[in-house]
Amino acid sequence: MDELHHECGVAALYHLPPAGTRSPVWTGDPDQVSRLMPRMLLDLQNRGQLAAGMATFNPEREQLVDTYKEVGTVIEAFRINHPHKYASIMEEYAGRAAIGHTRYATCGGQSRSYAQPFERRHGCKWKWFAFAFNGQLTNFADLRDRLLKQHDYHLTRDNDTEVIMHYLAHEVRGDDRPDLVEVFRRLAAKFDGAYNLAFLNAMGEMVVARDPLGLRPLVYAHDGPMFGAASESVALQNLGFRNVRSLEPGHLVLIRDGELSVHKFADAPRMAHCFFEWVYFANVSSTLDDRSVYLSRSRLGQELARQERVLGRVPLDPEGTVVVPVPDTGKAAADAMAFALGVPSVEGLIRNRYIGRTFIEGANRADKVRLKFTPLREVLSGKRVLLVEDSIVRSTTLKSLLHHLRDQGGAREVHVRVACPPIVAPCFYGIDMSTVGELFAPKFMAGKVPTVAEQDAMAAELGADSLFYLPVDAVARCIDLPADRLCRACVTGDYPTPAGEEMYQLALRNHATGAGGRTYDRPPEPLVCSVNDDGRT
């Protein structure tokens, strides 16, 4: 609802030689398997709408690795609505292996040059590679400064993806074909944050790697000669892959010389799966780390119902009270909440799915709400509405929506119920909220747990009759993972990595001093180098 955005989705496909047993995923020419990539990316569109692209490997082509990418949604970028143009792209970039990407930017610009995959061409085949990246390097500024100060480097883009490209290039620079497991082991020693990487080089080697904390989800499947990997399981399941599994944190899948193997490349000091994936970001059809997104959201709704009965502030009259989800991510929680309370769950807000992204971006806040949502007066008029929202981050459009429900929908009362704890701290691991000042809840809260009075003050600010959040301890119960295996930094202020904690302290200082800009857009700072006993810096 708050126009919150994720940092990208990645995908990979490979038709392994020899063909062996046939797979239901693909029965055509192995060199055309890349045609499946746009279909996969459509299922990852929820993770980024700014740009989309793919890089393919074809040993029969002069351009052994070639990359196509454009600004826009998957349909726009690949010209899917123009059959001849789409067919031409598929033919030019046909290959037996492909990596793909959908982009939303938490740092960097929005032009085509920032779209992924990134490709680095070289005359040596193992130094010629493309890669796609999902996440955010929390120590990006330090990595950038190290490049600029210790080497004769020039960066053309101010984002962590280009920094990763240079570090990858540095690790494969030798005269001998590199051990890619060792390459990623060395990178893990330098990187802090969330990073899922899909890598493809001109030798036909592929690596799909998940960071040691497992902050962002990554799944894979191997069916006959076909291998696939993606940020979410739905992208593989819809192609026909069976036995989709989560890649363990700190592990990678390596395809080399036509053989597939799984390797551990980094120790995991702890697990830190982002809880927000289940609450908001992931496709409701997906299963992440063996936990169903749909069932997790349903349990969030059951928790809301239990809280509602304890609070007892809203009469639960089936004739006068209805539960309404904010489409689409609030629906599973709303349905479960309504069932537990014995009141109707109704689609009182209908989302307009055919309004173009650019058209919406050109509107003001109130017009955006009117463009995106139509309240159904027939089911809302005179009703007491329990409005179920997945989260409140900035509240920038929620005020307009509440007014819209009363004015256009005729709702008598609107009580907001949030299937998530208050967002009290920024995210530095790939979600577009990097400053304290942009967050709604901290303006009202003296501590990290909101009191009833503080929630009443938030309701008054929003124009709601009441507002309640889920408590922090409900999150782990609903996802069915121990709290110490989740990253809950945005609702607790406790970060799983040193650079994350450092960025949070910087964000707090910036907020206190009124400094503008996103926290990770800080200017380069002097690099402090330590000298080891052997004289290396």
**Residue 65: DSSP 8-state:** E
pLDDT range class, residue 517, cuts 50, 70, 90 = low
What's the CATH code of the domain at 24?
A: 3.60.20.10
User: In this predicted structure, what is the pLDDT of residue 359?
Assistant: 47
Residues 310 and 245 in one domain: no
Q: Classify residue 166: in a domain, yes or no.
A: yes
Q: Could you tell me whether strands 291-292 and 287-288 are parallel, antiparallel, or unpaired per DSSP bridges?
A: antiparallel
Write down the pLDDT at residue 356: 57
In a domain, 131, yes or no: yes
**pLDDT (tens digit, 9 = 90+) per residue, 48-58?**
889 999 999 99
414 belongs to a structural domain: yes
The whole-number average pLDDT for the span 111-133 is: 94
* pLDDT of the residue at 369: 80
pLDDT value for 113: 85
The answer to whether position 4 is within a domain reads: no
Q: What is the pLDDT of residue 420?
A: 96
Co-location of 49 and 166 in the same domain: yes
Whether the pLDDT of residue 164 is over 90: the answer is yes
245 lies in the same domain as 322: no
Q: Which pLDDT tens digit goes with each residue over 261-297?
A: 999 999 988 999 999 999 998 999 999 999 999 999 9
Confidence at residue 525, expressed as pLDDT on a 0 to 100 scale:
43
Instruction: Please give the tally of structural domains in the chain.
Output: 2
- DSSP letter at 431 equals B
Pair (142, 47) in one structural domain? yes
Q: Is residue 285 part of a domain?
A: no
- Residue with the bigger pLDDT between 430 and 118: it is 118
Mean pLDDT of 169-195: 96
Burial of 235 (0-12, 13-18, 19+ CB in 10 A): buried
pLDDT tens digits for 306-360? Answer: 999 999 999 999 999 999 999 888 999 999 999 999 999 999 999 887 765 544 4
Predicted pLDDT of residue 7:
64
334 and 257 inside one domain: no
**Tens digits of per-residue pLDDT, 455-513?**
999 999 999 999 999 999 999 999 999 999 999 999 999 999 999 999 999 999 999 98
Domain membership of residue 529 (yes or no) is no
Look at residue 275 and tell me if it is in a domain.
no
SS3 label, residue 145: helix
Mean pLDDT of 427-433: 89
Q: What percentage of residues in the chain have a pLDDT greater than 70?
A: 91
Domain final position from 254, 269, 284: 269
Mean per-residue pLDDT over the chain, rounded: 90
Average pLDDT over residues 197-204: 98
Same domain, 257 and 310: no
Residues 502 and 448 in one domain: yes
What share of the chain in percent tops pLDDT 90? 78
Query: What confidence category does residue 28 fall into, taking pLDDT thresholds of 50, 70 and 90?
Result: confident
Q: 455 with 309, same domain?
A: yes
Residue 534: pLDDT band with limits 50, 70, 90: very low
Q: Would you say residue 532 has pLDDT above 50?
A: no
At 38, list the tokens. Answer: 């746009």
Closest CA to 55 of 15, 108, 94: 94
What pLDDT is stored for residue 266 in this prediction? 97
pLDDT given for residue 329 in this prediction: 87
Given the residues 8, 420, 427, 487, the one annotated as active site: 8
Domain check: are 322 and 361 in the same one?
Answer: yes
Q: What is the per-residue pLDDT for 537?
A: 33
Token code pair at residue 58: 């074809």
- Report the pLDDT averaged over residues 25-29: 89
Nearest to 291 by CA among 11, 48, 486, 4: 486
Q: Which domain holds residue 355?
A: 296-521
pLDDT of residue 151: 72
Q: How far apart are CA 232 and CA 318, in angstroms?
A: 38
Whether 474 contacts 303, CB under 8 Å = yes
Phi, psi at residue 339, to the nearest 5°? -60, -45
Confirm whether 510 is domain-assigned: yes
Question: What CA–CA distance (Å, rounded) separates 139 from 143?
Answer: 6
pLDDT for 531 beyond 50: no
Do 337 and 418 share a domain, yes or no?
A: yes
pLDDT-derived band at 521, boundaries 50, 70, 90: low
**Average pLDDT of the segment spanning 396-412:** 93
255 and 300 share a domain?
no
Half-sphere exposure of 454 (CA within 13 A, CB side): 14
- Using CA atoms of 278, 279, 281, 283 in order, give the dihedral in degrees to the nearest 10: 60
Give dist(CA 406, CA 413) in Å, integer. 8
Q: What is the pLDDT, as a whole number, of residue 150?
A: 79
Asked if 10 and 134 count as a contact pair (C-beta separation under 8 A), the reply is yes
Q: Is 8 a catalytic residue?
A: yes
Q: Which pLDDT score, from 0 to 100, does residue 468 have?
A: 96
Beta bridge mates, 311: none
Q: Which helix (DSSP H) or strand (DSSP E) does residue 216 occupy?
A: none
Mean pLDDT, residues 385-402: 92
Residue range 247-263, pLDDT digits in tens? 999 999 999 999 999 99
Other CB atoms within 10 Å distance of the CB of residue 127? 19
CATH (domain of 354) = 3.40.50.2020
Could you tell me which of 178, 159, 160, 157 has the C-alpha nearest to residue 169? 178
Bigger pLDDT: 473 or 152? 473
Cβ 25 vs Cβ 239: under 8 Å: yes
329 or 125, greater pLDDT: 125
Tell me the C-alpha distance between 467 and 309, whole Å: 14
Give the length of the chain. 537
What is the arithmetic mean of pLDDT over 17-23? 72
On whether both 380 and 475 belong to a single domain, the answer is yes
Distance CA 233, CA 284 (A): 10
* d(C-alpha 61, C-alpha 473), whole Å: 55
Weakest mean pLDDT among 103-107, 437-441, 494-498: 103-107
Taking CA 484 as the corner, what is the angle to CA 480 and CA 488, rounded to the nearest 5 degrees? 85
Is the confidence at residue 107, as pLDDT, over 80? no
Give pLDDT tens digits for 63-99.
999 999 999 999 999 999 999 999 999 999 999 999 9
